[in-house]
Chain A
Amino acid sequence: MSPRPSYFKVFLTFARNSLVRDMTFRANFVIDTLASISWMAMNLGFYALIFEYTPSIGADTGWGKYEFFLFLATGLLVNSIVQTLFMTNADEFSELIRTGSLDFALLKPIDTQFLVSLQRIEWSSLGNLVFGLVLLGYALAKVEYVPGLVQVVLYPIYVACGVAILYALMIAMAASSVWLGRNQTLYDFWFYITNFSRYPREIYRGRFGDPLRWFFTFIIPVLVVINVPARLLVRSLHPQTPEDWLLPLFTLLAAAASLWASRWVFNRSLVSYRSASS
Chain B
Amino acid sequence: MRNRLTTWGTILRISIEERLVYRGDFALGTLMRFLPIVTQIFLWGAVFAALGAAKGAPSRIAGYSCNDFIAYYLLTMISRAFSSMPGLASGIARDIRSGTVKKYLIQPIDMLGFLLLYRIAHKLVYYVVAAVPFALVFFLCRGFFHGWPDAATLLAFLASLILSFLLGFFLEATIGMVGFWFLEVSSLLFVYMLFNFFFSGHMFPIDMLPGVWGTLVKLIPLQYLAYFPAAVFLGKVSGADLVWGLAIQLGWVVLFVIASRVTFHVGVRRYSGFGG
CB atoms of A52 and B210 under 8 A apart: yes
CB atoms of B29 and A199 under 8 A apart: no
CB atoms of B42 and A209 under 8 A apart: yes
> Which among B29, B42, B47 is the interface contact of A53 at CB below 8 angstroms?
B47
> Which among A49, A59, A185, A205 is the interface contact of B53 at CB below 8 angstroms?
A59
Inter-chain contact count A-B, CB under 8 Å? 82
Q: Compute how far the CA of A204 lies from the CA of B54 in the bound complex, rounded to whole angstroms.
A: 20
| A residues less than 8 Å from B210 (CB atoms) | 52
What does the 1/0 interface line of B191-232 toward A look like (CB < 8 Å)? 000100110000110001110000000000000000000000
Q: What is the number of residues of chain B that contact chain A, defined by CB distance less than 8 Å? A: 30
CB atoms of B47 and A54 under 8 A apart: yes
Q: Compute how far the CA of A50 lies from the CA of B51 in the bound complex, rounded to whole angstroms.
A: 11
CB atoms of A188 and B46 under 8 A apart: no
> Which among B29, B47, B194, B197 is the interface contact of A50 at CB below 8 angstroms?
B47
The answer, yes or no, to whether A7 is at the interface (CB within 8 Å) is no
Main secondary structure of the interface of A (DSSP, over half): helix
Q: Compute how far the CA of A185 lies from the CA of B54 in the bound complex, rounded to whole angstroms.
A: 42
A39 to B: closest C-beta gap in Å: 6
What does the 1/0 interface line of A3-18 toward B look like (CB < 8 Å)? 0000000000000000
| B residues less than 8 Å from A156 (CB atoms) | none
CB atoms of A59 and B39 under 8 A apart: no
> Which among A31, A45, A58, A196 is the interface contact of B49 at CB below 8 angstroms?
A58
The answer, yes or no, to whether B5 is at the interface (CB within 8 Å) is no
CB atoms of B194 and A38 under 8 A apart: yes
The answer, yes or no, to whether B61 is at the interface (CB within 8 Å) is yes
The answer, yes or no, to whether B58 is at the interface (CB within 8 Å) is no
> Which among B32, B43, B204 is the interface contact of A49 at CB below 8 angstroms?
B204
CB atoms of B47 and A192 under 8 A apart: no
CB atoms of B62 and A53 under 8 A apart: yes
Q: Compute how far the CA of A188 lies from the CA of B33 in the bound complex, rounded to whole angstroms.
A: 9
Tell whether A58 pairs with B50 under 8 Å between CB atoms, given A192-B35, A199-B42, A203-B43. Answer: yes
Q: Compute how far the CA of A45 lies from the CA of B198 in the bound complex, rounded to whole angstroms.
A: 10
Residue of B nearest to A209 (CB): B42
The answer, yes or no, to whether B267 is at the interface (CB within 8 Å) is no
Q: What is the number of residues of chain A that contact chain B, defined by CB distance less than 8 Å? A: 35
Residue of B nearest to A64 (CB): B50
B28 to A: closest C-beta gap in Å: 9
| B residues less than 8 Å from A35 (CB atoms) | 187, 190, 194
Residue of A nearest to B35 (CB): A192
| B residues less than 8 Å from A57 (CB atoms) | 43, 46-47, 50
The answer, yes or no, to whether B45 is at the interface (CB within 8 Å) is yes
Residue of B nearest to A202 (CB): B46
The answer, yes or no, to whether B273 is at the interface (CB within 8 Å) is no
> Which among B29, B39, B46, B208 is the interface contact of A198 at CB below 8 angstroms?
B39
A231 to B: closest C-beta gap in Å: 16
| B residues less than 8 Å from A56 (CB atoms) | 50
The answer, yes or no, to whether B149 is at the interface (CB within 8 Å) is no
CB atoms of A195 and B39 under 8 A apart: yes
> Which among A189, A195, A200, A209 is the interface contact of B36 at CB below 8 angstroms?
A195
Q: Compute how far the CA of A60 lies from the CA of B46 in the bound complex, rounded to whole angstroms.
A: 10
CB atoms of B50 and A42 under 8 A apart: no
The answer, yes or no, to whether A214 is at the interface (CB within 8 Å) is no
| B residues less than 8 Å from A39 (CB atoms) | 194
A74 to B: closest C-beta gap in Å: 17
Residue of A nearest to B28 (CB): A185
A111 to B: closest C-beta gap in Å: 34
What does the 1/0 interface line of A182-221 toward B look like (CB < 8 Å)? 0001001100100110111011111001001000000000
Q: Compute how far the CA of A212 lies from the CA of B32 in the bound complex, rounded to whole angstroms.
A: 16
Q: Add 12 more A-B contacts to A52-B208, A58-B49, A60-B53 (CB < 8 A).
A: A31-B187, A35-B190, A39-B194, A42-B197, A49-B208, A54-B48, A55-B50, A59-B54, A189-B32, A195-B39, A205-B42, A206-B45
- Cβ contacts A to B, 19 pairs, < 8 Å: A35-B187, A35-B190, A42-B198, A45-B198, A52-B210, A53-B208, A54-B47, A55-B50, A57-B46, A58-B49, A59-B50, A188-B32, A195-B35, A196-B39, A199-B42, A203-B42, A205-B42, A206-B45, A209-B42
A-B interface, 3 closest residue pairs, ranked by CB to CB distance from nearest: A59-B53, A58-B46, A203-B46
